[in-house]
Structure formats: structure tokens, C-alpha cells
Amino acid sequence: MAGYRKLFDLSGRKALVLGAGSGIGRASAQALGELGAEVHCADLDPGKAQSTADAIRESGGAASASRADASRGDEVAGLAASARAQLGRIDIAVTTPGINIRKLVLDYSEAEFDRVVNLNLKGTFRFFREVGRIMVEQGSGSLIACSSIRATTIEPGLAVYGATKAAISLLVKGFAAEVGSRGVRVNAIAPGVIETPLTEPIKAHPEIYETYAKHTVSGRWGRADEVASAVAFLASDAASYVNGSTLLIDAGWTAIDGPPTGLTKTALA
């Protein structure tokens, strides 16, 4: 067995990150690059993808960038093919794009429903299918998708978003069952309340922002780099026996029944 430091080392690995322009995707690309992987950064916004690649290179890593829209099957297929042609192989593949239209089910239009499902769930399916074919052919690889705590805990206005995230976790299990024997690992991360562009609008409502923070046992929001560390773990040989799993990164949000109360502090005094 390799030493523990070696298990986390990604030197020589080739990685593809879709959604690398911002938030968790950007942090994940940077984490993989810092640990030694050569990273191809893809995003709907090519300028942001290039910015992430530049940051990786400035830190001494190797990176490139391109545009890709996770909501379009032809673009995801093209991205997988071009990434393999450029990198030679794809050892690690991460997909993070997602949207939420916060509305009650009774107020949702079919067009809005289709938009959320098409990007969140079908986008993940497309990525798994196209990159998964490459990894099966190679006989190895680590695929990582982005689920959410909303796959298990919900609130009004998040039913459709939560349904897509729950479906991603099940897709991970099913796909792992299909390709695990071919040397491919398929897992997901399930972040809690993380400071990203997707959650930025909540900051406009300080009372909601603070309520969410207090719902965690740590009493704060998470950072994108804290999620990226989990992505790096799943990408590495340290997670060689982790397959078909969804890793919670939520500071205890799903572990407790509501926000911590003053009783806890009294009991510990």
C-alpha cells in the first residue's frame, strides 16, 4: 500500500471540471491543480473558465480552458472528446453546474421545470454518459457530481431543485453499479449552505442568511474551498474504496432537527 501522502497526490492525473468558472467548480479545479493534476477548465462563460486556468498556472500547475454548456448534449459530447484529445486521458471528471428557480410547485411553469431539470439532472446524465464511456474504455477514472443537502431536507420553494438533487444521488448509485466493475468510481458531493454565486441573493436578506448559518452546528456558512477539499479526496486514491456514495459537506445541517438551542450551551456549561 502507498504511503498516505501519496494517496492524496494527484501528480500526473488528467482532470476535467465543468462549471470551473465560479463557486465550487472553480475551487475544485484549483484544488485538483494544486495537488498535481493537469486540469481542463470548462464553463458556460469562457472568460471565467480561462480565469480559473490562469490562476492554476500562476500557482505552478498546468491548465487549459474552453466553453461548454451543460444544458446542451452536443456541447458536453464535444467537451469530453476535446478534453481527451488534449489531455490524452481523463482520470478525474467533476461537474457542478446547477440552477434553482425558487417557486412553489403550484406557481411553476413547465418551461421553468424543464429548465431546472435539463441543467441539473440531464446535464449530469450527459456528463456521466460521455465521460463515463472514456473512463470505461480506459479501465479507470473518478466521476464526481454535485448533489445537495436539498436531496434530503427541503423547504417551500425548493421542491423541483431538491428533486433534481435527489435524482443525482440516485443516478450516482445506479451508474456506479454499472461501471464500478470496469474500474470507474462514481460519487457525489452534497454541500450545505456554501458561499457561492448561486446563494449570493440570500445575502440581501440578513435575517435569512443568519437563520441558515444557525441551522448548522458550526453556526456559519461554508466556503467553496471546504467543498473542494472533499472533491479532491473523492478524486484521489485515498477514496479508492468509495463508490456510489454521496458525501455530505454540511456542518451538521442534516444531522440535527432544527437550529441548535440555548439548552445545548447550558448543558455544556
Asked whether 171 and 244 are in contact (CB, 8 A), the reply is no
H or E element in which residue 178 lies:
helix 159-179
Termini Cα distance of the chain? 45
List, for residues 68-123, the tens digit of each pLDDT value.
Answer: 999 999 999 999 999 999 999 999 999 999 999 999 999 999 999 999 999 999 99
Asked whether 42 and 67 are in contact (CB, 8 A), the reply is yes
Q: Any bridge partners for residue 17, and if so which? A: 41, 94
pTM above 0.85? yes
What integer pLDDT is reported at residue 268 of this predicted model? 46
List, for residues 126-174, the tens digit of each pLDDT value.
Answer: 999 999 999 999 999 999 999 999 999 999 999 999 999 999 999 999 9
DSSP assignments along 120-139, one per residue: IIIHHHHHHHHHHHHHHHHT
What integer pLDDT is reported at residue 2 of this predicted model? 63
Share of the chain above pLDDT 70, in %: 96
List, for residues 161-193, the tens digit of each pLDDT value.
Answer: 999 999 999 999 999 999 999 999 999 999 999
Q: The cell 465543468 sits on which residue?
A: 18
CA distance linking residue 104 with residue 88, whole number of Å: 46
Which residue in 4, 108, 161, 209 is the catalytic one?
161
Domains located in the chain, CATH noted: 10-268 (3.40.50.720)
CA distance linking residue 164 with residue 153, whole number of Å: 13
Task: Dig out the grid coordinates for 127 from the structure.
Answer: 456528463
Catalytic residue list contains 4 = no
